[in-house]
Structure 1
Amino acid sequence: MVSKELHFTKAAERLGISQPTLSHQIKMLEQEVGYPLFNRIGKKIELTKVGEIVQQEAMNIRSSIQNITSQVKALTKVELGELKIAVLPGEITDLVSNLCIQFSQLYPNIKVFIVTTDQVEKAVLENQADFGIGFHLNQYDMLQVTKLYDEEFYFISNQRNGNQKISLSSVLVQPLILFPSIHQCRKILDKTSYEMDRQIEPIVETSSIESILNLVRSGVGSSVVSRTLYEFYDTEGLFFQHIEEPSLTKAVYFMMKKNCFINYAARKFIKLLVSEIEKLQFHTEKSAITSLQNSLL
């Protein structure tokens, strides 16, 4: 307060103490530091260079104390605030969006923001999100990465087939209704078909999963969708087959900064996410899921 007012009497009044008491406290602090904190020029004062250092560090301490307070509040059952989740565009966005419906019903006072981006790692590292979910691409020392599950992609049609499996080459000759090329599922399909020296020419492209399912249900064509989408949406009247030769799978990862504080909202959402993954019986690495759950304790 003295460094702000540059006047002992005014600072004492702001603090609600006497001016001699304040002067005594400053003198004791100067003795502890070993150098004067203020230049006294008549009735005027100014910070010395040492005083500027002490002032800055005092501000840092004050900020740390405020951070401790906010973290302790977040650690307790304070169902307020906001949660930011970075996700890849595509089926992972749908997974998180569907979970947000459940989460909002349980915690209506917590605002959830879904940050859809192709650079999930960067969003987490730059504190644009509390955590991220995506297909891990780059290694960063500051990131803690946990494999959640293996995403499988199904071939779906409106015709029941006795064979539970179908080769990718057989899929590619079908009239296909697919997501646009910017969608993660489509990117994986395009990349794999390119490696097979094949080119995909869908008869319909749409970014709406409901439209894809309805068109397939109507017999317009077939499609390739992730198991996540197949599980989350109404697929009555539709049938799926596992794709092989090669199989289409992609590992899904949870990402957060190492040694970061996990606030109340994030803890509750992560628990909901893990619960949903286990309920859907995705192929998971139990040790990784257990490690993630332990980090929430």
Structure 2
Amino acid sequence: MVCKELHFTKAAEKLGISQPTLSHQIKILEQEVGYPLFNRVGKKIELTKAGEIVQKEALNVQGSLQSMTSQNTAFTKAEIGELKIAVLPGEITDLVSTLCIHFNRLYPNIKVVIQTTDELEKAVLENQADFGIGFHFHQQDKLQVTKLYEEAFYLISNQHDGRKKIPFSAIFDSPIVLFPNKHQCRKILDRTSEEVGRQLDPAVETSSIEAILNLVRNGVGHSVVSRTLYEFYDTEDLFFQHIEKPTLTRAVYLAMKKNCFVNYPACS
């Protein structure tokens, strides 16, 4: 204000403080800088070269502070930023990727990075991801784990035999199309098969849920998929049956670091 008015009394009036207070503050600033900031000629003042440098840098600082404030405001409103998600390989990646389509429509300026990894807990704890989505988390002392939902698995086929429910053993009665054994869905099926003394021998293995649906649609075999995947894709021409004896279910969890700042895009 002093630079603008080039008059201490007028500047003090604009700032709403007394002229002696303003003069004292300028004197302290000159002592910190080590050079006079103004030439005082009677009642008139003018900037010294040192004063011009201080004014220029002060305006830069003010601009940076304003920029910082506006960016933080936009960040807290989820208008800008980056969201990093760690997910297990396989069908959970398909699920999260599909959900990101809706997220992008709501928050088009937030960059989304989906990291596929078997080490979800490590990714979250080492700040490689804002949160992880998976089925099992062990380090409960360091992680805040929230159950998102629980889902069942169904047998899907291109024909219906009239039964709404079938025993697990029925999946061995005809060719089957499955995810590879690294997928979580397949791991559940393999584990259950061992428990009933059988072994899965898929006619086709593929990591693509769309390929599985097309293969089933064309009669190559039936398949077992989670209810979420079944409902996420165009499956109106397919039939699904509840599996029982045993029933196949799994819970899906979200994990974040405990007692840490939460990235605002992650809250969205």
TM-score (norm 2): 0.72
**What whole-Å deviation, never above 9, does each CA across 1:63-117 have from its counterpart, x for those lacking one?**
xxxxx97995466325111100111122221121111111112211110000111
User: How many equivalent residue pairs?
Assistant: 209
Q: How much does 1:223 deviate?
A: 0.4
Larger radius of gyration between Structure 1 and Structure 2: 2
Question: Identity over aligned residues, as a percent?
Answer: 70
Residue 133 of structure 1 and its aligned partner are, at CA, apart by 0.8
**2:255 match:** 255
Q: Contact 2:137–2:255 at 8 Å: present in 1 too? A: no
Q: Deviations over 1:34-86 (max 9, x none)?
A: xxxxxxxxxxxxxxxxxxxxxxxxxxxxxxxxxx9799546632511110011
For structure 1, the 5+ residue unaligned runs are 1-15, 24-67, 269-297
Q: Give the SS at the match of 1:254.
A: strand
TM normalised by structure 1 equals 0.65
Report the AA paired with residue 124 of structure 1.
Answer: V
Q: Which runs of 5+ in 2 are unaligned?
A: 1-27, 35-67
Alpha-carbon distance in 1 for matches of 2:235, 2:32: 76
- Contact 2:158/2:238 (CA < 8 Å) preserved in 1? yes
The match for 2:201 is 201
Is 1:216 the counterpart of 2:227? The answer is no
> Are 1:87 and 1:134, in contact at CA under 8 Å, matched by a contact in 2?
yes
Root-mean-square deviation (CA, aligned residues, Å) is 2.3
Q: Take 1:247 and 1:192, find their aligned partners in 2: how far apart are those partners?
A: 10
Q: Report the residue type matching 1:231 in the other structure.
A: E
| Alignment partners' CA distance in 1, 2:249 and 2:206 | 22
1:140 is paired with a residue whose SS is coil
Q: Which amino acid aligns with 1:247?
A: T
Contact 1:176 1:204 in 2 (8 A): yes
Whether 1:101 aligns to 2:101 is: yes
CA distance in 1, matches of 2:245, 2:74: 49
- Residue equivalent to 1:113: 113
Alignment of 1:84-233 (within 5 A): 84-233=84-233
- In structure 2, distance between residues paired with 1:203 and 1:103: 36
Would you say the 8 A contact 2:144–2:256 is kept in 1? yes
Q: Distance in 2 between matches of 1:137 and 1:198?
A: 29
- Residues 79 and 264 in structure 1, CA contact (< 8 A), matched pair in contact too: no
Secondary structure, aligned partner of 2:221: coil
Is the Cα–Cα contact under 8 Å of residues 147 and 253 in structure 2 kept in the other structure?
Answer: yes
- 1:230 maps to amino acid: Y
Given that 2:78 and 2:110 are in contact with CA atoms closer than 8 Å, whether structure 1 keeps it comes out as no
